[in-house]
Amino acid sequence: MSRVCVFEVNETLLDMSALDTNFKDLFGNKDIRMMWFGQVIQSALVATVTGSYTPFNEAGAAALDMTAARLGSASLRMGGIRYWER
């Protein structure tokens, strides 16, 4: 049996606080980034457990849609870019 060492780099090696301004602009609260990231991690876990691959950018975008919906924001897609309105 071979040994495997697994670790995730997001928020461990990468500082995601650079996204705080974007979340403040979109949702009026920079702390929403943590809610979004929790959804990203949950989606990645589900994809791993079910054996389905989802590119990170797609998982992140889907998590952003779910977060916006949870907060009562409508997702608008314009020219391939997502915008949210409250």
Q: Which CATH number characterizes residue 37's domain? A: 1.10.150.240
Whether 22 and 68 have beta carbons less than 8 Å apart is answered as no
Residue 58 belongs to domain spanning: 16-85
Backbone angles phi, psi at 9, to 5 degrees: -100, -25
- Structural domains of the chain, count: 1
11, part of any domain = no
CB count within 10 Å of CB 75 equals 15
Q: Tens digit of pLDDT per residue, the chain (86 long)? A: 889 887 767 667 778 899 999 888 888 899 999 999 999 989 988 988 999 988 888 888 889 888 988 888 765 554 455 655 54
10, part of any domain = no
CA–CA gap between residue 60 and residue 43 (Å, rounded):
9
71, part of any domain = yes
58, part of any domain = yes
pTM of structure: 0.74
